[in-house]
Amino acid sequence: MRWSDEDEGAEGTPTLCDELDDLCRLNERAIMALRPGLLDALDAMMEDLLGFPDVKGYAMSDVVSAVVSTYAYESVRSALRCSLPSLYLGLRLTLGSLLVGLVADLALRGPAEARLRRALEEGVSLRDLVRGEAYRGLRRRVGEALGWLRGELGAEPVDFIYRAYVTLSRLIQVAPGRGKGALAEAMDDVVGLPPSIGSCLDYGEGEEGALRGLLRRMHIAVDLARLSNGMVLYAWGYLTKAVDEEALEDLRESIEEALNDLRDARRDEEGED
């Protein structure tokens, strides 16, 4: 299989990119028929990121620009390829990058973040950071910014974001003492083959049931990532005061929509089990 048709003698020979494009088109039709809400969730996630205000001089603006052009778009492509491992990886990297932007901007601005700034300048490890006063101060401020969500989430906002990140991480990481991660084991049950990080799954006639299960899992992951992304961006805008009230209200509406979509997707999962 060739990557491009510029190779000698490649005229009329399908390339790997051609095969992936065909697979995406086939899977898109299947998703439209079996789980159209997944495509809506992907569109909404991209709109949230593309619509984020470009505020010069802040790390978050550069992070969002880079995330949209890499990890977020790759998540969309992975979904259309029904490639769960790379979908989860793209979603996790998107959320993790936004968290880096939040911490970077808060650490560099204002006396309230002096402890956090000193911790980063001294090269404190992330593990040590989350055990120290600097992290507790950050946690407290983010909790204040997202306090209006506390009753809806059933957890502290910072804890919810952390659990979302861990959830997206656990499915693509090898479990300690075991040969593969939980997602790999789940996919074994469906296709009978251990998947790689870039596996592309195609389904033939009579395999709609297995595809429905995968699409349901993908839908929940995208909703969870979109909700967590929105929470990080809202906290950033609220704490830095770098965006106006209208932008914050737009982010708030997006968060509420994502939360409702996640609840609906999880109810669907309970109804299908």
Q: Where in the sequence is the domain holding 75, given as residue range(s)?
A: 16-272
Q: Extract the residue ranges of the chain whose pLDDT is less than 50.
A: 1-10, 111-112, 126-127, 130, 175-199
In-domain check, residue 4: no
In-domain check, residue 174: yes
Position 20 scores a pLDDT of 62
Q: How many domains does the chain have?
A: 1
In-domain check, residue 3: no
Residues contacting residue 29 through CB under 8 Å, at least 6 positions apart: none
In-domain check, residue 11: no
Position 167 scores a pLDDT of 87
In-domain check, residue 1: no
| CB-CB neighbours of 49 under 10 Å | 20
Position 192 scores a pLDDT of 41
pTM for the model stands at 0.77
In-domain check, residue 8: no
In-domain check, residue 6: no
Position 152 scores a pLDDT of 87
If we measure between CA atoms, which residue out of 45, 105, 48 comes closest to residue 242? Answer: 105
Cα angle 266-258-252, degrees, rounded to a multiple of 5: 150
Q: Which residue has the tokens 């992070």?
A: 63
Percentage of the chain beyond pLDDT 70 is: 66
In-domain check, residue 191: yes
